[in-house]
């Protein structure tokens, strides 16, 4: 009944919220039945991201032996156009009147397939594979942020259906948008206010203070630090930041990426051991290349351990039942056990 009454004839497009800074994508052509809301694409028989399914997707880039042709199944890493893409390369021309602005669904949507093996986790993949993957994230971010009308590139890893994962196969979603990101903008505003007052980077100063205080640091090495933010919004929220200042991940030096890979693997192993493989979201917060604003790129990892109860859903207010200092003590203990066991 639901499907019959609705008319999904129009195309996906952006609409500007007149009551706030956000742009929303309205995608009526998806035409879901009421019962389909919230469903995840299941792949009981064949996984469209596994080797052998290459013909079912449009390959954008792949790492495979140089003699092999496009779409051959011997890739190690593969970037495809998102088969459910709602964004297409188009001018972001704003139309309409002040209260009802809209624009075409301009942008790019890609899927990065992180390993040929369906069950492989970031935790366990060979370190050199993870380094190549980090380089691939970085290169897509760089390439897409240089396209016309792209204002923000977000790389998001959703792991587990509860965290919004569309595929079981390890993958990252890449979204190049003609509008800036709400959370990055909040951080940019805070960083700019702080810089105006102190002449230094907010993130650099927090990193230094956390290194001095130590109680919210999970682990760190020469180039990167993993910490639980002082005002963590959810239990076991974790950020990884470069210790040297830089606003764009795409400008991060290649020779530091093995250190990022090591820290990320240690952290994910500890999190998965401590919390029994929780669903989680991992989000890169980065400026586009050549944007000189006061910013400090980082990765946010948000395990989905609590339901978003009324306090945060729709209310804009967070109650976190786990102090970050407690989460850090627990993750550190798990890290230490792993090192003893290794």
Residue list 231-260, contact with a second copy (CB under 8 A): 231-233, 235
Question: At closest approach, how far in Å is the CB of 208 from a second copy?
Answer: 10
Between 253 and 337, name the residue whose CB sits nearer to a second copy: 337
DSSP states of 150-199 as a string?
--EEEEEEEESGGGT-S-SS-EEEEEEESS--HHHHHHHHHHHHHHHHHS
Read off the tokens for 57. Answer: 């997707």
Which CA distances in Å does 250 have to 154, 254, 286? 12, 10, 8
Interface residue with a second copy among 57, 281, 286, 294 (CB under 8 A) is 281
Cβ distance 48 to 78 under 8 Å?
no
Question: At closest approach, how far in Å is the CB of 157 from a second copy?
Answer: 8
Q: Which stretch binds a second copy (CB under 8 A): 67-75, 133-141, 165-173, 249-257?
A: 165-173
For residue 8, state whether it binds a second copy (rule: CB under 8 A): yes
Question: At closest approach, how far in Å is the CB of 144 from a second copy?
Answer: 15
Residues sharing a CB contact under 8 Å with residue 258, sequence separation 6 or more, in sequence order: 127, 131
Terminal-to-terminal C-alpha distance of the chain: 58
What residues from 85 to 144 belong to the interface with a second copy (CB under 8 A)?
Answer: 86, 99-100
For residue 166, state whether it binds a second copy (rule: CB under 8 A): yes
Interface residue with a second copy among 57, 82, 106, 173 (CB under 8 A) is 173
Q: How many chain residues bind a second copy (CB under 8 A)?
A: 94
What residues from 194 to 233 belong to the interface with a second copy (CB under 8 A)?
Answer: 194, 202-203, 205-206, 209, 229-233
For residue 338, state whether it binds a second copy (rule: CB under 8 A): no
**Number of CB atoms found within 10 A of residue 224's CB:** 24
What residues from 65 to 94 belong to the interface with a second copy (CB under 8 A)?
Answer: 86
Which CA distances in Å does 188 have to 61, 74, 130, 245? 32, 42, 29, 14
Question: At closest approach, how far in Å is the CB of 151 from a second copy?
Answer: 12
């Amino acid at each position: 009944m639901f499907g019959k009454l609705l008319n999904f004839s129009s195309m996906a497009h952006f609409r500007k919220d007149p009551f706030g800074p956000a742009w929303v994508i309205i995608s009526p052509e998806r035409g879901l039945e009421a019962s389909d809301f919230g469903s995840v694409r299941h792949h009981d028989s064949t996984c469209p991201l596994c080797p052998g399914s290459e013909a079912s997707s449009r390959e954008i880039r792949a790492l495979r032996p140089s003699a092999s042709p496009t779409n051959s199944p011997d890739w190690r890493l593969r970037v495809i156009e998102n088969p459910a893409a709602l964004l297409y390369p188009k001018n972001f021309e704003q139309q309409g009147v002040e209260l009802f602005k809209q624009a075409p669904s301009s942008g790019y949507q890609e899927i990065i397939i992180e390993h040929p093996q369906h069950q492989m986790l970031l935790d366990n993949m060979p370190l050199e594979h993870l380094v190549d993957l980090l380089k691939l994230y970085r290169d897509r971010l760089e390439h897409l942020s240089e396209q016309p009308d792209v204002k923000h590139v977000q790389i998001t890893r959703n792991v587990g259906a509860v965290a919004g994962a569309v595929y079981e196969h390890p993958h990252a979603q890449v979204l190049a948008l003609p509008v800036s990101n709400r959370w990055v903008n909040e951080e940019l505003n805070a960083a700019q206010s702080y810089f105006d007052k102190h002449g230094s980077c907010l993130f650099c100063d927090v990193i230094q203070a956390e290194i001095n205080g130590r109680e919210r640091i999970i682990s760190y090495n020469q180039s990167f630090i993993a910490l639980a933010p002082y005002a963590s919004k959810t239990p076991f929220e974790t950020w990884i930041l470069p210790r040297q200042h830089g606003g764009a991940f795409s400008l991060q030096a290649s020779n530091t990426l093995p250190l990022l890979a090591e820290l990320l693997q240690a952290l994910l192993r500890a999190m998965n051991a401590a919390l029994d493989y929780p669903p989680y979201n991992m989000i890169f917060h980065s400026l586009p290349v050549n944007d000189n604003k006061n910013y400090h790129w980082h990765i946010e990892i948000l395990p989905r351990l609590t339901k978003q109860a009324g306090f945060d859903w729709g209310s804009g207010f967070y109650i976190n039942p786990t102090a970050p200092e407690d989460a850090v003590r627990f993750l550190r203990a798990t890290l230490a056990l792993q090192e003893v066991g290794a």
